Amino acid sequence: MVNAGSLSNKQKLDIVTQRNTFFFRSDDFEEKWEARISSITNLLLFLQRELNTKKSLGDKKKVVVKLLLDKPDGLSALLALTSISEEFLLRLITFARTVQNKELNKLVKIESFSKFPLDKEVSKASLFRLVKADKGTAESIVNLLFEGYSVPILQESLPLFELKKLNFNKLEFTIESLLDSIVRHSKRGSCRAQGDNDPVGLIKAG
């Protein structure tokens, strides 16, 4: 074992940066991701401008559906706006296809996902392709992301922390709704790791 007291400051710095994954960097990879992040940010600014020209909920939904159909990063932009992860979206779709609740089926147009076998979860790649290619599926996703909070079966089944993300107010781009998304995103891991809210711990205790 190396005695830390015998190391120079540079040697200590090298150990921290080389052995700690938080400090790992790949310049080529980061340049590509920075470009994509900028693209998604600009897409959200574009969406905000488009929504500001519409008054009714129906017209706003049409704008969002068009974004999903026309823009490669449309779905990624919506997920960023709502602080919903790709994994959580896939779980929501699996939930809807499994429970076969009448009201939820109607909201998400469950027939949009009929091409996928029920014994397998829809993959991320398949979902993203379908959203871009099929207007009905794009409408399903918009309904789920921004009206899911109103469906009783989701109110009963989802943690409040997640349920409150499924709200059309996110598309108003108000300071309050944006801050809510930021805080929920930053605290998601901490919320799930709390002793009285940790699924693994609760299952073991039960």
pLDDT of res. 204: 47
Joined together, the tokens standing for residue 150 give 């109103």
pLDDT of residue 39: 93
**CA dist., res. 119 & res. 97, Å (int):** 10
pLDDT recorded at residue 115: 86
Is 128 part of a structural domain of the chain? yes
In a domain, 23, yes or no: no
Residue 199 lies in a domain: no
Report the chain (206 residues): mean pLDDT per 10 consecutive residues. Answer: 66 67 70 89 95 92 96 94 92 93 94 87 93 94 93 95 89 88 77 50 46
Position 7 scores a pLDDT of: 74
7 inside domain: no
Tokens of 63: 């704008």
Taking alpha carbons only, the member of 100, 92, 130, 125 closest to residue 113 is 130
Q: What is the pTM of this model?
A: 0.76
Contact residues for 193 (Cβ-Cβ < 8 A; gap 6+)? none
Return the pLDDT at 33. Answer: 80
* Closest by CA position to 142, among listed 187, 87, 78, 91: 78
Residue 122 belongs to some domain of the structure: yes
- Domain, as residue range, for 163: 34-194
| Cβ neighbour number for residue 44 with a 10 Å cutoff | 17
Query: Would 201 be classed as within a structural domain?
Result: no
Q: Read off the amino acid at residue 124.
A: K
Distance, CA of 57 to CA of 82 (rounded, Å): 17
Q: Which two tokens stand for residue 25?
A: 């960097």
Helix (H, G, I), strand (E, B) or coil at 37: helix
Structural domain contains residue 2: no
Please state the domain count of the chain. 1
The verdict on residue 173 lying in a domain is yes
Amino acid residing at 142: V
Of all residues in the chain, what percent are helix, strand and coil, respectively (each to 5)? 80, 0, 20
Please say whether the beta carbons of 43 and 71 come within 8 A: yes
